Every structure is written in C-alpha cells, then in structure tokens.
Amino acid sequence: QKEVEQDPGPLSVPEGAIVSLNCTYSNSAFQYFMWYRQYSRKGPELLMYTYSSGNKEDGRFTAQVDKSSKYISLFIRDSQPSDSATYLCAMSPNAGGTSYGKLTFGQGTILTVHP
Amino acid sequence: GAVVSQHPSRVICKSGTSVKIECRSLDFQATTMFWYRQFPKKSLMLMATSNEGSKATYEQGVEKDKFLINHASLTLSTLTVTSAHPEDSSFYICSARAGLAGPQETQYFGPGTRLLVL
C-alpha cells in the first residue's frame, strides 16, 4: 500500500463546475498537507498549505484536512480552463528527525476544464 | 516571493557525458534543497536532500556517485549527472525550503530541467 493514494483521473469538467480532488494516506505522522498545481513540462506550484486538521480558503480554492479519516481534499469553485493542470497532494511529518521537510507526494490528478 | 530557478531548462547530451543542473533560490535563503525526478505522467520521486555546507542525503536506490550534489551556498545547489545514459533521461526538478521566510515545511519548486541522453 502506498503511503499516499490519489486518483490519477483524468478528470474532465465543464467551465464553472466545482471540482473536488482528494487524497488518502496511511501514515499518521503526517502533519503538514499541501496541494501543488503542475502545468505540463513545468515545476509544481504551491497552491495551499495546511497544518493539521481543518479548512483553509484562498480565493476559489478550499483545502480540507480530516486527520481522523486520513483524508484531504481540495475544492475548486467556478473552475476555469486555466485551472487545467495536474494537481498533486503532498504531505510531511512533524518537524524534527530525519523525516523533517521530506514531502511524500500523491500520484497527481490530471484535471481538464473545458469551455 | 519564493522564486526558485533552474538552469538549463532543457539539455540534450551524448551518452557518457556529464551534465550539471543548477538550482537557485532567487529571493530567499534555502538551508535545504531537494532534488526530484519525474517520469511522464508520474509523480515526483525524491532523489536526495541537499543541506548547505554538508553532504547530501540520498534516498534508497539512488546512486550517489552517479548523481553528485553540491550545495555550496544558501541560494545554490547543483546536481551533476555523471556518465549519463539514455535511462537517465527524465525531468529533474529541484525545490527549496523557505525556512524562516515562510511555513517551515513549505517547499518551492523550480521549473524543472528536461534531460535527454542520446
């Protein structure tokens, strides 16, 4: 079993739709949760960063973390064609120790928003 | 803020040659940089963790003599692929941890370097 599971998709939605992206994980030590967006042939761009459980909103993006279920989500409201990209979830354990700062990534979900 | 650059963006080389890739944090100091490898439609695979002024820590299965990492300053890390072979062809991405400039665990990624070994 992979430490982080993410449905690779592809996911295709019409413009204006609400997109829901999800990851599950097995390592209870993960405390920091991130979502990255990666356009084709480019490096990942940090979208959202969350520490521990809860919700965080930034414009059209909302990140949710449910540590009890080991489940994180990213919601995109009013999706736009420019949101078409691969979305990667990433996680990291507490600071300290040899795992400090190392990210474990999901496989990435390919999203296409069509006009 | 938190911009990371990589150079070159693309390189084509002959089998047996060595290739150096630079990773720079442009507007912050990065005590730690990370090197990843990404295959088409696959996620990022961490190769090594690079700490300024000390030896890099390599992930299991990554040959340290093949992938030489030098983190000479707080804004520059280099990855040298030695005696490159076609199977080394890949997309190499670096990241830098912002440390005091941002959330401690946040990594900012460079745009990547596409290596093609003929």
| Residue B68 touches chain A, beta carbons under 8 Å | no
Quick count: other Cβ atoms within 10 Å of Cβ A115? 7
- Beta carbons of A42 and B112 less than 8 Å apart: yes
**Which residues of chain B make contact with A8, given a CB cutoff of 8 A?**
41
- Beta carbons of A106 and B42 less than 8 Å apart: no
Distance CA A29, CA A85 (A): 29
Distance CA B13, CA B103 (A): 38
Distance CA B20, CA A7 (A): 34
Distance CA B21, CA B27 (A): 19
Q: CA nearest A35 in B: which residue?
A: B106
Quick count: other Cβ atoms within 10 Å of Cβ A97? 9
For the CA atoms of A99, A102, B33, B51, what is the dihedral angle to 10 degrees? 10
Q: pLDDT band for B58, please (50, 70, 90 cuts).
A: very high
Percentage of the residues of chain B whose pLDDT score is greater than 90: 64
pLDDT digits (tens, 9 = 90+) for A9-65: 899 999 999 999 999 999 998 888 999 999 988 899 989 988 888 899 999 999 999
pLDDT digits (tens, 9 = 90+) for A54-69: 899 999 999 999 999 9
What is the nearest CA distance from A18 to chain B, expressed in angstroms?
Answer: 24
B51 or B15, greater pLDDT = B15
**Measured on CA atoms in the order B52, B55, B57, B58, is the torsion positive or negative?**
positive
**Which residues of chain A make contact with B91, given a CB cutoff of 8 A?**
41
